[in-house]
Amino acid sequence: MQIEAIDMAGGARRDHAKLVVEGLSKTFGTGPEAVLALAPLDITLERGDFLCVVGPSGCGKTTLLNVVAGFERPTSGRALLDGRPITGPGAERGVVFQQGALFNWMTVLENVAFGPRSCGVPAAKARESARRLLALVGLEAFASKYPYQLSGGMQQRVGIARALANEPEILLMDEPFAALDQQTRELLQEEIRGIWRRTGSTVLWITHSIEEALFLATHIVVMSARPGRVKAAFRSHFSADPDPLVAATPAFSAAKRQILALLRAESQRAQHLESQA
């Protein structure tokens, strides 16, 4: 049994929680135009957990990430980091956005070095670690280019390097690999897994790919159609499997089928909802 259903709200896990999302809901707008994006939802992550969130388009995944990042305030409930309510952005949280959010007036190297520089790291040291991170994402040759000179996938890789540069305790990634080709994606998945194992950081990772979730995650949440709730949550053991071809095993396929069935039902509901909007 490589995945097992769990209660993501926490139970005993709350005692060691890195991140607690508690009764969190979010409504955009007011009156008849109001959109309930997230229904009250509870998630607990322990230090070192790697949570992948999958769910139909428009179910509130980015909204959830934005609240944890501190860019959006919840309508009800709260998000706590190390027991303290999140009220705004912080350097201990590294964010990779769904759409690249690089500084267009800075070179690639300056973009990656920006975070550490603003935290007081000396220029030479910040640039050196930025170069190392750019090498990691295969972009050392593009250090002096500007974001507009890069493809969408390359910009996304700069975004990943920039998020890692602050050595964040918690990484918040919104479909970071969506724009990448299959080969780059697989290489970076292995890199991310390595970085996560070495650093012991906590990760909240949104993806549309069930394979990616099974390959990377210690925990998987399937969200319902809008308003997003936790429809199902699983503990997954594939990410601990040393076999790089684990995705080709029958157990992996069985787990994929199980999650796909849940996701399909919600995607159909979401489509129905959107057609009525």
Ligand X SMILES: Nc1ncnc2c1ncn2[C@@H]1O[C@H](COP(=O)(O)OP(=O)(O)OP(=O)(O)O)[C@@H](O)[C@H]1O
Count interface residues toward Mg ion (CB under 5 A): 2
Q: Does 116 bind ligand X (CB under 6 A)?
A: no
Cα dist from 185 to 7, 14, 66, 133, 181, whole Å? 30, 33, 24, 16, 6
Which amino acid type is present at position 121?
A: V
Identified binder of ligand X from the candidate list 18, 61, 93, 157, rule CB under 6 A: 61
Which of left, alpha, beta for 23 (phi over 0: left; psi -120 to 50: alpha)?
left
Residue number, 127 or 226, with CB nearest to ligand X: 226
- Scanning 3-11, 58-66, 130-138, 244-252 for contacts with ligand X by CB under 6 A, the matching segment is 58-66
Site string (98-127) toward Mg ion, x via CB under 5 A: x-----------------------------
Lookup result for tokens 């295969």:
138
207 binds ligand X (CB under 6 A): no
Work out the end-to-end distance of the chain between its first and last CA atoms, rounded to an integer number of angstroms.
40
The reply on whether position 37 binds ligand X by CB under 6 A is yes
Nearest to 65 by CA among 38, 102, 85: 38
Q: Is 224 in the site for ligand X (CB under 6 A)?
A: no
Question: Does residue 168 have a cis bond before it (omega within 30 degrees)?
Answer: no
C-beta of residue 229 within 8 angstroms of C-beta of residue 41 = yes
Residue 220 binds which entry of ligand X, Mg ion, none, CB below 5-8 Å type-dependent = none
Q: Does 62 bind Mg ion (CB under 5 A)?
A: yes
DSSP string, 16-49: GEEEEEEEEEEEESSGGG-EEEEEEEEEEEETT-
Q: Does 229 bind ligand X (CB under 6 A)?
A: no
Answer for which of 6, 9, 35, 121 binds ligand X (CB under 6 A) is 35
Residues 158-197 that bind ligand X (CB under 6 A): none
> What residues line the site for Mg ion (CB under 5 A)?
62, 98
> What residues line the site for ligand X (CB under 6 A)?
28-29, 35, 37, 55, 57-63, 98, 226
